[in-house]
């Protein structure tokens, strides 16, 4: 078991497998894109697997693949299969924009992917195109159905922004009425392009949904480290969830670290400090040395983010969300 300096058990690794993306969501990525890393700076799938294997031996149980868009990375299915073969890993999930999901769904399921979070901010095709720069809503909705059809657990993640999708929040929440999916609203964080928009608080959205659908029943905490607070509405098949990093910090229960595409073990979303694993991986370090360095780095995990503090802070993350993976 790996604990940080505040006694939090770290058993969850989020892996960004690419900094490339086939969409340009306005709160995440500039229209012109970001400069992607040269090929040699990106961890190979073998290097990623080695890090996962070492972290499994330190007690990591849960893996999430993210990006950029994870499904643009070639041979990701093979990596998922390899990770699924590690006895200590009990949960493998992915966060995707869904565009390429339908075509890969059977291979992903066979490789061991059990759960998928699909990012979707609107059910209005023209608004989808305005937000993402691409006319792809129908493909994402087809991917939702394909994943459900294969028995996967599906969660929809929406980032409500005043300037982008405010008018369609209630309609999007209705997906949880029609389908067995949880729809989760994530408060916009002031990272990268997110600073250019205004998020909508979880409290406001809950109020709006209760006005439309009647009072919701708040779910009791499961005891597991869960960042979302869930609610049940009468007549809904799925739940409505709120992830509220801005209005209700959940740092006290944070159980996660991140592996960036260039091999940094990143300790907190808000800060850029961490351990550069790539030199260790490429300069002949033994597993034991890497294990010790990771355990030592995790001890330095910051206590909490401070997104609401507007003054410039030491080690504040300057990368865009597409480069970190959310």
> Interface with ligand SF4 by CB under 6 A: which residues?
21, 23-25, 28-29, 67-69, 97, 119, 321-322
Nearer to ligand SAM, 228 or 294 (CB): 228
DSSP string of 64-104, one letter each residue: EEESS-GGGSTTHHHHHHHHHT-TT--EEEEEE-STTHHHH
Tokens at 265, concatenated: 């073990």
Contact partner at residue 111 from ligand SAM, ligand SF4, none, CB < 5 to 8 Å by partner kind = none
For ligand SAM, which residue of 18, 95, 229, 244 counts as binding (CB under 6 A)? 95
Residue 136 neighbours by CB distance under 10 Å: 18
Mark 168-197 with x for binding to ligand SAM (rule: CB under 6 A) and - for no binding. ------------------x-xx-x--x---
Nearer to ligand SF4, 55 or 141 (CB): 141
Closest approach, Cβ 54 to ligand SAM, in A, equals 24
Nearer to ligand SF4, 137 or 321 (CB): 321
Query: Checking DSSP bridges between strand 228-232 and strand 217-218, what pairing results, if any?
Result: antiparallel
CB 235 within 8 A of CB 290: no
Helices (H), the chain: 45-57, 76-84, 101-111, 125-132, 137-149, 169-173, 175-178, 202-213, 277-282, 287-298, 321-324
Contact partner at residue 194 from ligand SAM, ligand SF4, none, CB < 5 to 8 Å by partner kind = ligand SAM
Q: At what angle do helices 101-111 and 137-149 cross, to 10 degrees?
A: 30
Contact partner at residue 323 from ligand SF4, ligand SAM, none, CB < 5 to 8 Å by partner kind = none
Contact partner at residue 186 from ligand SF4, ligand SAM, none, CB < 5 to 8 Å by partner kind = ligand SAM
Nearer to ligand SAM, 16 or 213 (CB): 16
CB 147 within 8 A of CB 126: no
Residues facing 153 on adjacent strands: 115
Q: Considering the rule CB under 6 A, would residue 111 count as an interface residue with ligand SAM?
A: no
Residues that bind ligand SAM (CB under 6 A): 21, 27-28, 66-67, 69, 95-97, 119, 157, 159, 186, 188-189, 191, 194, 321-322, 325-326
């Amino acid at each position: 078991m790996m604990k940080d300096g505040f006694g939090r058990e770290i058993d969850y690794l989020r892996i960004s497998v690419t900094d490339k993306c086939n969409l340009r969501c306005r709160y995440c990525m500039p229209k012109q894109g970001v400069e992607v890393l040269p090929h040699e700076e990106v961890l190979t799938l073998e290097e990623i697997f080695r890090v996962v294997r070492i972290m499994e031996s330190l007690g990591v149980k849960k893996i999430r693949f993210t990006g950029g868009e994870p499904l643009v990375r070639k041979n990701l299915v093979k990596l998922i299969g390899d990770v699924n073969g590690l006895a200590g890993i009990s949960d493998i999930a992915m966060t995707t924009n869904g565009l390429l999901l339908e075509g890969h769904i059977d291979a992903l399921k066979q490789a061991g992917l059990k759960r998928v979070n699909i990012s979707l901010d609107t059910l209005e095709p023209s608004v989808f195109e305005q937000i993402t720069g691409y006319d792809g809503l129908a493909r994402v909705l087809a991917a939702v159905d394909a994943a459900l059809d294969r028995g996967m657990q599906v969660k929809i993640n929406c980032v409500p922004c005043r300037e982008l999708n405010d008018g369609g929040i209630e309609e999007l929440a209705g997906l949880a009425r029609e389908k067995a999916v949880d729809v989760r609203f994530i408060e916009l964080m002031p990272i990268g392009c997110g600073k250019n928009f205004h998020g909508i608080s979880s409290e406001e959205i809950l109020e709006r949904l209760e006005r439309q659908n009647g009072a919701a029943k708040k779910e009791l905490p499961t005891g597991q480290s869960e960042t979302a607070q869930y609610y049940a509405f009468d007549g809904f098949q799925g739940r409505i969830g709120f992830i509220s990093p801005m209005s209700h910090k959940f740092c006290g229960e944070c159980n996660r670290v991140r592996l960036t595409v260039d091999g940094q073990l990143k300790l907190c979303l808000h800060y850029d400090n961490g351990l550069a694993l790539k030199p260790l991986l490429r300069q002949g370090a033994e597993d034991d040395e890497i294990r010790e360095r990771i355990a030592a780095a995790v001890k330095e995990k910051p206590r909490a983010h401070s997104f609401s503090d507007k003054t410039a802070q030491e080690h504040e993350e300057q990368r865009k969300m597409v480069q970190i993976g959310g």
